[in-house]
Amino acid sequence: MLVPLIMTDENLISLIDEALGQAKIVGVFTQKDPAETAPGPDGLYRIGCAMLIQKMARFPDGHIRIIGQGLARIEAVDFIGDPPMMRAAVRHIEEREGNRRKARAMMLNVVNAFARVVDASESYPDELKGVIAGVRKPGRLADLVAANINTGIAEKQAALEMIDPFKRLDHVYGLLSGELEIARMGEKIRQDVRHEMDREQREYYLRQQIKAIQKELGENDTAVEIEDLKKSIDSKEMPDEARATVEREWSRLSRMSPGSAEYTVARTYIDWILDLPWLEHSKDSLDIRKARRILNRDHYDLEHVKERILEYLSVRKLKKDSRGSILCLTGPPGVGKTSLGMSIASALGRKFVRISLGGIRDEAEIRGHRRTYIGALPGRIIQGIRNAGSSNPVFMLDEIDKLGKDFRGDPASALLEVLDPQQNDSFEDNYINTPYDLSAVMFITTANIPDTIPPALLDRMEVIELPGYITAEKVKIARKYLFPRQIEENGIPASKLEVTDDALRMIVERYTREAGVRNLERKISALARKAARKLVEGSRGPWKVSSRNLETWLGAAGYPDQQMLMRPESGVATGMAKTAAGGVILFVEALGMKGGGGVKLTGQLGDVMKESAQAAMSYVRANLAEEMEDENFFENSDFHLHIPSGAVPKDGPSAGVAIAVSLASLATGKKIRNNIAMTGEITLTGKVLPVGAIRDKVIAAHRAGIREVILPSSNRKDLDDIPAGIRKDIKFDFIDTVDKGISIALAGNGGKAGRRNAKR
């Protein structure tokens, strides 16, 4: 057989040049790994072909083209030399002869099978059938078929290595059978496709006939619907880019069959585009006095938050296109974060939209799903904008600190673009797939704890902290807002039920324990419901709820009063802490017992608080040796540090001063004053560092009857946040070092208290 070959490898070209200078014969062998550049003897099949170089042409880029003629099968017996210029001793493989009748029968089967393959497949020219039919030798026929059939190198090599012509014919017949099966499957697929196309064309023709009949009958049809949709697109105000997108989608829709699944998808997409308020917006009410009245009407106190809102309105009045910052209202539950957003919308005269982000873990909830998915929808941002019907609503993202993330993406990362006034003018939802301008939207986020908000997201927001309410404030809120609302919601005449301020104060202090007023309103609602039942059962009233009869209305109080210690004690210091329900006081109890210097920490302490305890222990051991009665007190004692309540997790560094004072009390034998509370983080060098939530902590101490508080000097600035009435009642001691705090907290010259044992 004559075969054209192109050579680009320099080594092969050198080999051809050498062969042309001699007998013009080379040995041709197939390599086992096609990716190998210079295979050695082990990388070649041993059975190959002797080839005579008939013609050779050289091209300017260096490659050559040759025409080679196969002469005979050869086997490489022994290789001489290393690659790439290898020589080998070869053995000429003679063609065997066999039974002519058997050869004729097998050849006929192969020729017929090859003809069927050529007829069934489009990849073989018809001329091959004549060439194959004219071959008279069985080996020659097998070789020719194996060379022209669409099969792999391994199958062709296997045919080359078969010396027996009958085995070779049998091998080739098997390859033809497989190729014929593939050709039949391909033909079946083509027929199915052709049948499906014919069916769709027939359906299209029938639908056109139905349209014509419906038109004659005057009935509505899809064409009318398409035209109405085009009128809606033409009359809708939208940016040019959005208009180009929706018109392109309408053009596709008009050419679709109404029965196809794509028709519904395209129609739903167009409806979403038309429903969005691209250029519609509410007119801002920029009356500052009116806004102040609305904010004061809906919320008690929160002056710094109200001032920030009024500043925003003032800037909008002076500069219409200003892009304000994103507000993040943080604070404990029930202090009015969500309702404040509604008041802001009312003051601005805008629509209000609220979505809760708590527990969202899928990024598609923010950016939407792509239209390729079944049941795809836009994200919650675009859905909220559509529900508002305005492009500039007040948009509240509630509970942003409770976002999660998993394998479906990070919703917080998707919000980075939404909450950036410099970027959100071209927000692109995956479903809408067209930029939407969010720059006119006033975004307000809420969070209980800003610590869990990702730093990159928190950096885009202006954090405004809403502190918890004190008892006096809660009583006023209950009197002004909660009680009238519950009386109205439960259908009770205002003259039938009266609740005294003492009763409200008792509900706040004994029946609820929270920073906000949510549970307080529930308790007031319980009073209203009981009054409603009395009215329905025939009682006339009126009823007066006071501190004396409150227990008959609400049952026993759920929370005991949090009071300071009755007397000074050894090893018990009064600390202050901030919880989700506001500030509380906590007692740091230290106990010494015989042992070897071990320390046991209990009370569900977190890692940071445990480290504070270790730092306090190290400082006291290193610096109070002169004041200790027993020099070996720490070496001969074990210490147990406990902070009630044991079921409540506690963490943070602010208990460092209280822990140091309790340990110093054990070491010196002096009692700790019971009328003093303390907070502050300590270092190993004895410095006292500032802590947070001073307002809540001081209020909690005041509520417990404490009238002296030890604070870090760096927290002096935080006194401005404390109500004036409480500031007036409390003496504040500011300290820079632990020594000063210990000297203030320990009892004076009243004598030594002795070691504190397990009995108190």
The half-sphere exposure of 199 on its side-chain side, counting CA atoms within 13 A, is 6
Judged against a pLDDT cut of 50, whether residue 755 lies above it is answered with: no
Per-residue pLDDT, 251: 86
Per-residue pLDDT, 580: 65
760 confidence band (pLDDT: 50, 70, 90): very low
Domains located in the chain, CATH noted: 2-92 (2.30.130.40), 222-275 (no CATH), 288-465 (3.40.50.300), 471-554 (1.10.8.60), 572-745 (3.30.230.10)
756 confidence band (pLDDT: 50, 70, 90): very low
Burial class (CB in 10 A: 0-12, 13-18, 19+), 217: exposed
What whole-number percentage of the chain has pLDDT above 90?
A: 21
Compute the distance between CA of residue 75 and CA of residue 161 in angstroms, rounded to an integer. 9
Judged against a pLDDT cut of 80, whether residue 749 lies above it is answered with: no
CB 476 within 8 A of CB 300: yes
Compute the distance between CA of residue 159 and CA of residue 176 in angstroms, rounded to an integer. 13
Per-residue pLDDT, 752: 40
Residues 325-357: tens digit of each pLDDT: 788 998 888 888 888 888 888 888 889 999 998
Per-residue pLDDT, 561: 65
Quote the DSSP letter at residue 399: T
Question: How do beta strands 64-80 and 2-7 pair?
Answer: antiparallel
CB 12 within 8 A of CB 37: no
What whole-number percentage of the chain has pLDDT above 70?
A: 94
Per-residue pLDDT, 497: 92
Residue 397: in which H helix or E strand, if any? strand 394-398
- Whether 654 is catalytic: yes
- Measuring CA to CA, which residue among 689, 710, 683 is closest to residue 622? 683
Per-residue pLDDT, 757: 39
460 vs 408: which has the higher pLDDT: 460
Per-residue pLDDT, 528: 92
Judged against a pLDDT cut of 80, whether residue 362 lies above it is answered with: yes
Query: In sequence order, what are the beta bridge partners of 575?
Result: 586, 678
Judged against a pLDDT cut of 90, whether residue 314 lies above it is answered with: no
Per-residue pLDDT, 732: 94
Sign of CA dihedral 634, 635, 640, 641: positive
Q: Which candidate in 306, 523, 578, 697 is catalytic?
A: 697
Q: Which two tokens stand for residue 442?
A: 């006033």
Residues 417-441: tens digit of each pLDDT: 888 888 888 888 889 889 998 888 8
Residues 448-479: tens digit of each pLDDT: 888 888 888 888 888 888 877 878 888 999 99
Q: Which candidate in 654, 662, 665, 670 is catalytic?
A: 654
CB 511 within 8 A of CB 469: no
- For residue 139, which amino acid is it? G
Lowest mean pLDDT among 577-586, 594-603, 635-644, 659-668: 577-586
133 confidence band (pLDDT: 50, 70, 90): confident
3-state secondary structure of 582: strand
Q: Which two tokens stand for residue 331?
A: 């604070």
- Measuring CA to CA, which residue among 634, 657, 659 is closest to residue 710? 657
Residues 671-710: tens digit of each pLDDT: 999 899 999 999 999 999 999 889 888 988 888 889 999 9
Per-residue pLDDT, 504: 92
CB 609 within 8 A of CB 650: yes
Compute the distance between CA of residue 639 and CA of residue 757 in angstroms, rounded to an integer. 11
Q: In what order do the strands lie in the sheet with 442-447?
A: 352-356, 394-398, 442-447, 326-330, 461-465
Judged against a pLDDT cut of 80, whether residue 407 lies above it is answered with: no
Q: Which two tokens stand for residue 676?
A: 């003093």
293 confidence band (pLDDT: 50, 70, 90): confident
Judged against a pLDDT cut of 60, whether residue 9 lies above it is answered with: yes
Average pLDDT, the chain: 84
Question: How do beta strands 497-499 and 543-545 pair?
Answer: parallel
Compute the distance between CA of residue 442 and CA of residue 465 in angstroms, rounded to an integer. 18
Lowest mean pLDDT among 177-186, 381-390, 431-440: 177-186
759 confidence band (pLDDT: 50, 70, 90): very low
- Measuring CA to CA, which residue among 672, 601, 596 is closest to residue 640? 601
Per-residue pLDDT, 625: 67
